[in-house]
Structure 1
Amino acid sequence: MIVIPVTCALIFLDKKVLCAQRSETMSLPGLWEFPGGKIEEGESPADCLIREIKEELAISISLVGSLQPNEHSYTEGKVVRLIPFVCSWESGEITLLEHLDLQWLAREELKVVNWAPADIPIVDHLFVNWNNIQKQLVDYKRENKNL
């Protein structure tokens, strides 16, 4: 069994989370996901996610916290281990460098888009824990606004 570690970012702004639609050049075209990517050899999950978001969206983020990883098998013998992080958008203007589209979704809109299967458990967790995650973000911004 091959396990592929992949990070993803739950980037929040104004009580909405950023969701990206996979382009025609990606596997699972047209499905929605939280942006991120594969961890490279010797790279930490946090460093991977910061790099991937810069490469995919041209923005800088801060990692606020992490959520429970989720494993999903798209093909026999291969498992994607999706490692989600709660993130704050710090700087830059979003440019879609790999994805087809993006949306900022409020909690009640999360189930409207067609998610990639590996992201669905994260969406479910986010839906249930939305208020706690929002509080975590507020606390993070309060603690770091003077840095």
Structure 2
Amino acid sequence: MTRKRVEVAAGVLLREDGCYLLGQRAPDAVYAGYWEFPGGKVEPGESPAQALVRELDEELGIRVTRLRPWLCREHLYEHAHVRLHFQEVAAWEGELADRVHSALAWVRPEGPAREPMLPANGPILKALRLPRTMGITQAAEIGVEVQLDALERALAGGLRLVQVREATLPDAAREAFARAALARVRAHGGLLVVNEDEVLARRIGADGVHLPARRLMAVQARPDFPWVGASCHDRAGLERAAALELDYALLGPVQPTLTHPGQAGMGWEGFASTAAGLPLPVFALGGLAADDMERARDAGAHGIAAIRAIWRPVRD
């Protein structure tokens, strides 16, 4: 059966408190009563961004002033093969005035989802629960106690996603550190993933595992954890992560780093073109700090990941 291919622009409207907007499809619509992100079909001659600006004006009565590319997912419905271009609506003007839905709802990412959700929209909800900043540990370099103190400081400042990356620590010390880090992260309601070591991740009850690039290209199936991500350096790596249905990927280096001396960064244009049109969130990595967050998201990144910059003490 040949299905008609339909391009759709979908908007993720975000409030300052992190809530996102969903609309419930009207009784006379296909999939009546289902919840969805607002948006609609991309008409001939339109880009997804242009289509979304038009649709949100028609549906919600708002004028979009800032869009960011985010994820692109495909779904096979009975009536069509739909390709959805999800974009973050970072700023708009006007008051919401719903014109097509039965109801609108602002939803917290960590709260209960609205049911039923359109099947193509469901995977987006997990991506919205993923924090925007990842801190990558360096206990072997700076010392375990120094790292734990820096971790506690960063968690108090809002960090909620941590990767334990300590291959050079002795086994017993690595496990003790990972357990101590996990306890601190859990106390703040965050997520912790362990780099590569699936046995350690299971033993301590971590939230997931992070695959180095070489491991990503070797595995045949997604590891069985709630959260799985991978490090990537090119489009092939990102497409492999997408094919395995991983939850996120890191792409870099964007700028030159001490971790990869002598290696030129891909820059923001390189990042944007390499990460475009993928179904999973991609973090920008490499020589970045908190000040780079807006630029990263404008380039299509979900957020930023960093090693050294995350753990630096905040100075007045």
Q: Same fold (TM over 0.5)?
A: yes
Higher strand share: 1
RMSD: 2.4
Q: Distance in 2 between matches of 1:63 and 1:117?
A: 27
Q: Distance in 2 between matches of 1:70 and 1:27?
A: 20
1:139 paired to 2:142: no
> Given the alignment, which residue of 32, 36, 52 partners 2:35?
32
1:73 paired to 2:228: no
Deviations 1:107-128 (A, max 9, x none): 1125343210010122222222
Matches within 5 A, 1:1-147: 1=2, 2-14=4-16, 15-75=18-78, 78-109=80-111, 111-128=113-130, 130-132=131-133, 139=294
SS at 1:80 equivalent? strand
For residue 74 of structure 1, report the CA deviation from its aligned partner: 1.2
For residue 67 of structure 1, report the CA deviation from its aligned partner: 2.0
**Normalised TM-score (structure 1):** 0.82
Flag structure 2 segments of 5+ consecutive residues without an equivalent: 134-280, 282-289, 299-316
Give the total of aligned pairs.
137
Q: Distance in 2 between matches of 1:112 and 1:42?
A: 34
Q: Structure 1 counterpart of 2:52, which letter?
A: L
Q: Distance in 2 between matches of 1:34 and 1:74?
A: 17
Flag structure 1 segments of 5+ consecutive residues without an equivalent: none
Deviations 1:100-147 (A, max 9, x none): 10111111125343210010122222222x4359x89x837xx9xxxx
| Kept after mapping to 2: 8 A contact 1:4/1:80 | yes
Q: Distance in 2 between matches of 1:87 and 1:62?
A: 8
Higher relative contact order (CA 8 A, sep 6+): 1
**Normalised TM-score (structure 2):** 0.40
Deviations 1:64-123 (A, max 9, x none): 4222211111116x2011110011242111111001101111111253432100101222
Q: Distance in 2 between matches of 1:95 and 1:112?
A: 20
